[in-house]
Amino acid sequence: MSKYIGKKTKLEYKKGMLKHPFLDKSGLVFFNTQSTVVTSISVNETIFKEWLDCPQKLRKEDLSKLRTLIEQGFIVESPVAE
Amino acid sequence: MQTFQLSLPPFTFQVETNISLVARNANSLYGSAYSDEIDPLVYVDYYLSATYSGGIRRFYKPQARFLCDEREPFKPLKANQAYAMLEWGMNWTVAAHELQYAIVHSAVLAKDDKAILFPAPPGSGKSTLTAHLSQNGWRLLSDEMALIIPGTNQVIPFVRPICLKNSSIALAKQWFPECVFSTVAADTHKGDVIHMAAPKAAFEQNRTAATIVGIVYPNYKVDRKLDIYQLNMTESFMQLVDNSFNFTAIGESSFDTITSLIEKTKHFEIFYNDLNEVDLFLTEDIINAS
């Protein structure tokens, strides 16, 4: 498992971060108003929510995208209720 | 020392200069927006100056300094580049201070009050395209910056001269011999630079906003016929933010404005070497289709 994502965790949007899923489903954009980082991910919102719910099942390259979003402070880990 | 005012909605500048080419160029390029009769009742947004540097250097290698409200954002330039420096200084002044608009580094042209943004880095052919369109039925709102009203897809004009560089200078003078051009600022960091006056019609409508219907990222390539690529919204958003002057300074309002704008417009990246082909594409596929 990755440095950031544990076996019994899911991911969620960090409070206070701005995000916008585009109507054409081309992706989501994020803006951290404190660090002023702007970034995007080219995945539609439905799939992205699945990624957040179950990051353990992701391919290496997709997991790497999530790690970047964690590092940038857009998403955080949260424990899954047993 | 000469003082003049430039009434360039939505701003008024007051400029002080002791360099004759600065006042002369401003007078010829801005026409009725230029006034050397200072009206004390006019609200001035920014006090600028373009003056000779002091000291003995003035006599053997004269330089010019630009100041905005006593701040000096650039190092001095050769005195013969003083007018170009004033224009760049005005760009800097607005980009660095104005927070009531989402400001994007972009040309803006409109037909029937439907506007297209042309965000682009230097060397993309943006200003040559702007000059061509502004003389062929399009209304010039800006060559340099799009002032977008937050929470809307409305862009307001900021009509100024068009900045042409290097090989574009001869082309523009050949294409538009009746237009007014500034003196050449030779050997600047951008090469040789000249400013071309905006059409009179652009000044006449310089308080009329337009609705943004398209965003086109231009790339001039000498050996490439018109190639058009439709961008998705995520790609266009990231490119537009890269060209924004004040996105991070404005914060949430700017994020909401730009994301909303992206969803209401069409987005293309184009490669071209024929300006008439571009004009046809813009008119038929963006303006008429909106």
Return d(Cα A43, Cα A27) in angstroms, integer: 5
Return d(Cα B7, Cα B9) in angstroms, integer: 6
* Residue B25 pLDDT: 98
Which SS3 state, helix, strand or coil, does residue B14 take? strand
* Residue A6 pLDDT: 67
Element (H, E) at B59: helix B57-60
Query: Does residue A1 belong to any structural domain of this protein?
Result: no
pLDDT band at B121 (very low <50, low <70, confident <90, very high): confident
CA torsion angle B150 B151 B152 B156 (round to 10): -10
Q: How many CB atoms lie within 10 A of CB B254?
A: 24
Taking only residues 83 to 102 of chain B, the set having a beta carbon closer than 8 angstroms to any beta carbon of chain A reads none
Query: Which chain B residues contact residue A42 at CB under 8 A?
Result: 234
Residues B125-140, mean pLDDT to the nearest whole number = 96
* Residue A1 pLDDT: 40
Taking only residues 222 to 241 of chain B, the set having a beta carbon closer than 8 angstroms to any beta carbon of chain A reads 232-235, 237-238, 241
Residues B252-258, mean pLDDT to the nearest whole number = 95
What residue type is B84 in one-letter code?
A
pLDDT, tens digit (0-9, with 9 covering 90-100), for A30-72:
999 888 999 999 999 999 999 999 888 889 999 999 999 999 9
Query: Does residue A81 belong to any structural domain of this protein?
Result: no
- Domain range for residue A65? 9-76
Query: Which chain B residues contact residue A22 at CB under 8 A?
Result: 232-234, 237, 259, 262-263
pLDDT, tens digit (0-9, with 9 covering 90-100), for B29-57:
999 999 999 989 999 999 999 999 877 77
Residues B179-184, mean pLDDT to the nearest whole number = 97
Which SS3 state, helix, strand or coil, does residue B179 take? coil
pLDDT, tens digit (0-9, with 9 covering 90-100), for B274-286:
999 999 999 999 9
pLDDT, tens digit (0-9, with 9 covering 90-100), for A5-20:
666 788 989 988 999 9
Query: Does residue A67 belong to any structural domain of this protein?
Result: yes
Q: Is the ipTM of this complex over 0.95?
A: no
Q: How do the domains of chain B map onto residue ranges?
A: 1-97, 100-160+198-290
* Residue B284 pLDDT: 97
- Is B234 close to A42, i.e. CB distance below 8 A? yes
- Which residues are CB-neighbours of B227 under 8 A, at least 6 positions away? B270, B271, B272
- Which residues are CB-neighbours of B59 under 8 A, at least 6 positions away? none
> Taking 50 as the threshold, does the pLDDT of residue B215 lie above it?
yes
CATH number for the region B100-160+198-290 comes to 3.90.228.20
